Chains A and B, each alone.
Chain A
Amino acid sequence: MATSNGRAIDYDALVKPDAVHGDCYIDPDIFADELKKIYGRGWVYIGHQSEIPNAGDYVRKWIGLQPVIFSRDKAGKYHVLFNRCTHRGASICQHDKGNTGGFRCEYHGWFFRLDGALQAIPYVEGYGDNFDKAQHNLRRPARVDEYRGFVFASLSPTGIPLTQHISGPAQRQIDYACDLSPEGELVVQSGATKLAYNGNWKLQMENSIDGYHPNFTHQSFISTLERLTGSKVEIFSGHAKTQSRDLGMGCSNIDSRRANIEHPQAQARLKMMQGTSWGKKYYDDLVAAHGKERAEEVLIVNGTHMNVFPNLVVLAGQVRTIQPISTERTEVYLRPSLLKGVPDEVNTQRIRQYESFYTTVGGGIHDDVEMFNRVHEGLRCSQDPWLIFQRGLHREQTDNDGTIFSQGTDETAQRGMWRHWKSVMQQDANG
């Protein structure tokens, strides 16, 4: 049995195949254990390499509650560095983002390069002849790796490689998002929606791949959309061809491939997008880059809608990072992703679509946040502490690639997340 703060926690009893105990959201000892086992050991999403395109660029990020700097050195290599002076512990980077020649700790003047190397100490003779500056470079996570520009870090020197954490089927989903660019690259530098709510970080993770809620939580958005287009929105109904999919290792998605490919208007949509000169150019460039078959496949599938455990969400036009603060508080960063090498109009359209739903003023995300706050309030009721994740359990199937899927409104995706969460939390605290 796992222990946290000296207390035994039976994770097997808290996460059943079809239900999750409310303590998994509100117990501070479990939260502390998550910081140790999930954020303090496994792969955690840091940022997208395009956020720091130029030498000297940096942004502040976090691994769990630990502040890090994501920087690019003069040779163009990126680094993940702990935002802590190795001298007396002060944070050395104060701005959320910027461009600099290095980081000077303003407490006693120690100066670190963009790659974390300690370059200069004021009055260095005060440390004697045997002082080795190289021992006091900025500390860094044990492992850093990336998949298609998405940079992850792990504080553990051992463990599975990133390409195993993001399974093959999960990689294919990220590929759908990236291959919408003829150069195969997303560009994440168009600002961020920053939102906070009262409640646990997993509320946002399980909501991001929830195909059951849109017709209810987002009624105002969907009814406005239906009024504008004159046609009914079917993709979130209980009989849609959309699928809820467990990609393994806690990653999951709302899979619209089949629904989009088999959609009666799929070919008409491809034709329609070529109706403008910029749409035609985008289509032609994509075909030249990926071949006609793949280009048309990615255009029809139109990105992805997926989670990468524990803190990344990749959507068609967006990269979302979930930042745990406490059982009472979570911060979420939503960043529109643009496509490299496409006509400006394509990207402007992505930004307008993003704004229509994903800002705190726009049409949708704040209705999700409202529900997280409501769940957090409801979780104070102790009489029946269970949250039911049973939907579709009886009709799940295993696909050829080993992933488990079911109808789009089913909770297969959430069950996958919770199953992985339990297996990580059951690990020995000393790992």
Chain B
Amino acid sequence: MSSLREKVENFLYKEARLMDENRYMEWFELFADPCLYWLPANEEDYDPNKHASLFYGDRNIVNNHVIRLTEGKAFAQEPRSRMRRVVSNIEIEDGGEEISVHANFIINEIRKHEQRYHTGRTHYKLAPEGGSFKIKYKKSVLVSLDEMQENLTFLV
């Protein structure tokens, strides 16, 4: 019987692998219904109905996002980014019905021969389901959230 930490780690590593390999639809299947996915811009926290985000959306909006990226005409991903990410500094609060998880990430991305690093910390709210989890809430706060950005059209 694996511990909660092992289960959470396995889940986060799987999510990281799906994002690294541009497996958009499989990644989308990790989300619960309903769900919320949020990438804040400029500041770490604010009312997202009053301040624009890099991404803020419910299940429908996330679905549109992954469909757009998989339809083959998203030229900012033509050619696609190659990436591998490391997930670490995992802290877990067991709330029973809802597991709150914080984790750091470092993404190494190469596109058109240019290498970039994207780092940040993600807050997940996970719902236990069938020995694994579904993502009810994912908020990824990039360290560079207020900096000039070029292309974040892969999965963060």
Contact B75 A370 (CB under 8 A): yes
Question: Taking the nearest CB of chain B, how far is it from the CB of A159, in angstroms?
Answer: 32
Q: B42 touching A362 by the CB < 8 A rule?
A: no
Binds A, one of B2-10, B25-33, B51-59, B91-99: B51-59
Q: Please state if A360 and B54 are interface contacts (CB–CB under 8 Å).
A: yes
Size bracket of the B interface: 35 or more
A363 to B71 CA separation, bound complex (whole angstroms): 12
Query: Provided the pairs A192-B41, A220-B69 are in contact, do residues A361 and B50 lie with their beta carbons within 8 angstroms?
Result: no
- A contact face: mostly helix, strand, loop, or mixed: helix
Known: A228-B64, A361-B55, A362-B55. A191 touches B150 (CB 8 A): no
- Asked whether A79 is an interface residue with its Cβ less than 8 Å from the other chain, the reply is no
B44 sits at the interface (CB 8 A): no
Which B residues, 132 to 153, have Cβ-Cβ distances below 8 Å to chain A? 146-153
Cα–Cα distance between A347 and B48 once the two chains are bound (Å): 11
Within the complex, what minimum Cβ distance (angstroms) separates B156 from chain A?
7
**Residue B87 CB within 8 A of the other chain:** no
B116 within 8 A of partner (CB): no
Q: Are A190 and B50 interface neighbours, CB within 8 A? A: yes
The residue in chain B whose Cβ has the minimal distance to the Cβ of A194 is: B148
Which residue of B has the minimal Cβ distance to A224?
B68
Complex: chain A residue closest to B46, CB-CB: A191
Q: Mark A319-337, 1 if CB is under 8 A from B, else 0.
A: 0000000000001000010
Contact status A351-B49, CB under 8 Å: yes
Residues of chain B whose beta carbon lies under 8 Å from any beta carbon of chain A: 39, 41-43, 46, 48-57, 61, 64-65, 67-69, 71-76, 78, 146-153, 156
Given A223-B71, A360-B152, A369-B151, does the pair A351, B41 have CB atoms closer than 8 Å?
Answer: no
Bound together, the chains give a CA A96 to CA B148 distance in angstroms of 13
Contact B67 A191 (CB under 8 A): no
A interface residues (Cβ-Cβ under 8 A, vs B): 96, 190-197, 217, 219-221, 223-224, 227-228, 331, 336, 338, 344, 347-348, 351-352, 354-356, 359-363, 366-367, 369-371
Number of A-B contacts defined by CB within 8 Å: 112
- Residues of chain A within 8 A (CB-CB) of B41 are 191-193, 359
- A-B residue pairs, 7 tightest by C-beta: A219-B73, A196-B148, A366-B76, A220-B74, A348-B49, A191-B42, A220-B73
Q: How far is the CA of A366 from the CA of B111 in the complex (A)?
A: 14
Q: A352-B56, A370-B75 are in contact. Are A331 and B67 (CB under 8 A)?
A: no
- B146: A residues at CB distance < 8 A: 96, 194
Is there an interface contact between B73 and A223, defined as CB atoms closer than 8 Å? yes
Point out the residues of chain B lying under 8 angstroms from A359, CB to CB. Answer: 41, 52-55
| Residues B49 and A344 in contact, CB atoms below 8 Å apart | yes
What are 8 contact pairs spanning A and B, CB under 8 A? Answer: A190-B51, A191-B43, A192-B42, A344-B50, A347-B49, A352-B57, A355-B54, A367-B74
Q: A227 to B68, alpha carbons, bound, how many Å?
A: 10
User: Bound state CA distance, A217 and B76, in angstroms?
Assistant: 10
B149 in complex: contacting residue of A228, A336, A360, CB < 8 Å: A360
Known: A192-B41, A359-B41, A367-B74. Is A351-B150 also a contact (CB below 8 A)? no
Chain A nearest Cβ from B145, distance in angstroms = 10
Residue of B nearest to A363 (CB): B68
Which of B57, B147, B152 makes the CB contact (< 8 A) with A366?
A: B152
On chain B, the residues within 8 Å of A367 by CB distance are 74-76
| CB pair B64 A190 closer than 8 Å | no
Residues of A within 8 A of B150 (CB): 195-197, 360, 366, 369
Q: Is the CB of A355 within 8 A of B51?
A: no
List 6 extra interface pairs beyond A196-B148, A196-B149, A369-B76, CB under 8 A: A224-B68, A351-B50, A355-B57, A359-B53, A359-B55, A360-B151
